[in-house]
Structure 1
Amino acid sequence: MVEVAEYGVESFDSRLRREAMAWLTVRTNDGEEWLTREDIQDFTLGGEKRRLQATQTGIWKPKDLSAALSIQTVYRAPGRERPYNDEVGSDGLLRYAWRGDDPDHPDNRALRSAMEQQVPLIWFFGVGMGPAVFQPVFPVYLLWEEPDQKQFVIDPNVGRGIVNRESPIEEHLRQYLMVETKRRLHQPVFRSTVLRAYRSKCAVCALAHKELLDAAHIVPDAAEQGIASIVNGMALCKIHHAAFDAHILGIRPDLVVEVRDDILAEVDGPMLTYGIQARHGQRLMELPANRREYPSRNLLEHAYQSFLSA
């Protein structure tokens, strides 16, 4: 039975998008978890399996929809380029590249239709390979097209209604867009990328309870060196994350933990003794399997110098 929406009968298109996003909300624990490609194939609608994601391309439009349902960005380890770029423009808005050079390619027409109809899309952002792992980000919308650059302007439900192609984006609005885009897209993608690489274990103590772990930035993302990349991240439990940020403990470029001298001399309870002081001089207990995803030595050195000067 087709459900009745506020202003009439809900279309199949609207129902599919709504139920897919509701299902993804549950399956990702409200965006806290990543999904494998196989996980994503579990979605059903009305008892029938429905595909939500392209397998060979970046854009997926089911045959019975008039517009694209989802887009994806594949994961590439640091140092390896993606086959196409999805970048942030100087205005703080994201771009999603056409498929190929032909504006009339069916995939590009499917995105154009989604833009014209202003329907919500799902963005499957790759956070790991072997198996392919994705962080779903939704809803996202296409604001306008930039044919000269062969791309669409994409918005994670931040700028709709407050920006348009004809009006220049003022600085205060640009800053707002960049902050909100980071919160809604980059932060969940960064978290999933880091925790997946560290097998959901704290790098310092190997605690394996994901709900007690953070994706910690080695250099704060607000700093000039604070790049949004896995090489600027480590999985840390909440205690060791707070201790790292407070310069209670530091991590040398050779991946050895140091604890501040005054903290080593302090006498307190078992948490300090076993949780902090006992880690002094110990090598990190958990690191990514792929050496390309190891913490950057340059960024560790930068953070370590801050620790020494604290």
Structure 2
Amino acid sequence: MAISPVERELAIRLAAQSWLGAQRAQGVEYWTQRALEEFMFAGEKLPLMDRQRGIRKPAGMAAALSIRTVYRREGAERPYEDGLGVDGLLRYKWRGSDPDHAENRALRSAMTLRLPLIWFYGFAEGLYAANYPVYLLAEEQEHQQFVVALGEDQRMVDVGQEADPAIRAYVERMTRQRLHQPAFRAGVMRAYTSKCAICSFRHANLLDAAHITADAHAEGDPVTSNGLALCKIHHGAYDENILGIRPDLTVHVREDILGEIDGPMLRYGIQEHHNRALMVVPTSQRDRPDAVRLKRRYEAFLAAH
């Protein structure tokens, strides 16, 4: 039985998300323009990103399939600056100021048909992390923007309504985390070549992009220099102040932990790293751990005990 055009568009989107998810399961953290041209549907190539435009609507489709935010160095202005509304949800600016621009019509169709999109977010020149599913919930024409839900649960938020402060704070926190975390993780994994900074463990699915300054902190920017690639054991130990990292990039294991007797994980995984330099450090100076952030975090580690 033939499927409707809307059903076909939904099938394409779900297949694209599944394709990206399968690569993530194999340790792929980010994509290039060329890599995103390899997606196939029904035996034909269907690029997920447009070479020239920020909004991708393939020929024959009624609605936008993906949106893109290009990389800008820290402090550089973006051509379109998106922000949060009183409801804690993200806003995505129109293309230009003409509501009838083809790209704005493509976004409007995705909103009207309630179709999920993929958001490709640039974290380095020519490299993109992926956020999905993303939905457009409403259009605020007076502000030339769309209201965005990052994930299925955010579709339940009352658009434009100022929520209870605690609820709004939660929605805002989740919005910022979902927008920036994939790009932050991709940047950290790339800088550390998908290896733990402390022990060089290299299975990406068991690595975390750990913040030096917590993301909830005012200075917890989602930039690579505020991150460390750590395996889950060492990330947990870092967050629980079992070990710290000095500004000179050496590991400091807590004194009481050094005196414990346990199994091989404690001995070889924690204790033997005391006073040793990090095994993996980014080659790019811009990506190396920020010395000021490290110093503050190390001082907090010392003060905790």
TM-score, length basis structure 1: 0.85
Question: 1:249 and 2:243 equivalent?
Answer: yes
How many angstroms apart in 1 are the aligned matches of 2:12 and 2:87? 32
Match of 1:106 in 2: 102
**Aligned runs of 1:77-92 on 2, under 5 Å?**
77-92=73-88
Change in Cα spacing, 1:268 to 1:182, as seen in structure 2 (3 Å) is: same
Amino acid at match of 1:255: L
How many angstroms apart in 2 are the aligned matches of 1:305 and 1:271? 26
Question: 1:226 and 2:220 equivalent?
Answer: yes
Question: 1:155 and 2:149 equivalent?
Answer: yes
5+ unaligned residues in a row in structure 1: which ranges? none
2:119 is aligned, of 114, 120, 123, to 123
Contact 2:87 2:159 (C-alpha < 8 Å) held by counterparts: no
5+ unaligned residues in a row in structure 2: which ranges? none
Contact 1:201 1:213 (C-alpha < 8 Å) held by counterparts: yes
**Cα drift, residue 198 of structure 1:** 1.4
Contact 2:27 2:205 (C-alpha < 8 Å) held by counterparts: no
Deviation sequence 1:3-34 (CA, Å, 0-9, x none):
4xxxx786432332232223223232299743
**Cα drift, residue 78 of structure 1:** 3.4
Instruction: Report how many aligned residue pairs link the two structures.
Output: 303
Deviation sequence 1:170-208 (CA, Å, 0-9, x none):
324313422443554443333223212211011112221
Question: 1:40 and 2:17 equivalent?
Answer: no
How many angstroms apart in 1 are the aligned matches of 2:120 and 2:16? 13
Of 261-270 and 201-210, deviating more is: 261-270
How many angstroms apart in 2 are the aligned matches of 1:155 and 1:281? 46
Contact 2:92 2:148 (C-alpha < 8 Å) held by counterparts: yes
Of 256-265 and 232-241, deviating more is: 256-265
Question: 1:292 and 2:286 equivalent?
Answer: yes
Contact 1:158 1:181 (C-alpha < 8 Å) held by counterparts: no
Contact 1:128 1:196 (C-alpha < 8 Å) held by counterparts: no
How many angstroms apart in 2 are the aligned matches of 1:227 and 1:127? 13
How many angstroms apart in 2 are the aligned matches of 1:56 and 1:117? 25
How many angstroms apart in 1 are the aligned matches of 2:27 and 2:164? 31
**Aligned runs of 1:144-293 on 2, under 5 Å?**
144-156=138-150, 157-165=152-160, 167-182=161-176, 184-293=178-287
**Cα drift, residue 143 of structure 1:** 1.8
Change in Cα spacing, 1:218 to 1:289, as seen in structure 2 (3 Å) is: same
TM-score, length basis structure 2: 0.87
Secondary structure in 2 matching 1:208? coil
How many angstroms apart in 2 are the aligned matches of 1:152 and 1:137? 17
Match of 2:303 in 1: 309
How many angstroms apart in 2 are the aligned matches of 1:209 and 1:153? 37
Amino acid at match of 1:160: R
Secondary structure in 2 matching 1:277? helix
Question: 1:59 and 2:68 equivalent?
Answer: no
How many angstroms apart in 1 are the aligned matches of 2:303 and 2:264? 27
Match of 2:2 in 1: 2
Coordinate RMSD, CA, aligned: 2.7
Amino acid at match of 2:282: P
How many angstroms apart in 1 are the aligned matches of 2:267 and 2:156? 54
How many angstroms apart in 1 are the aligned matches of 2:86 and 2:74? 23
Contact 1:2 1:10 (C-alpha < 8 Å) held by counterparts: no
Deviation sequence 1:34-88 (CA, Å, 0-9, x none):
3333222111111111121122221111121222111012233434444433333
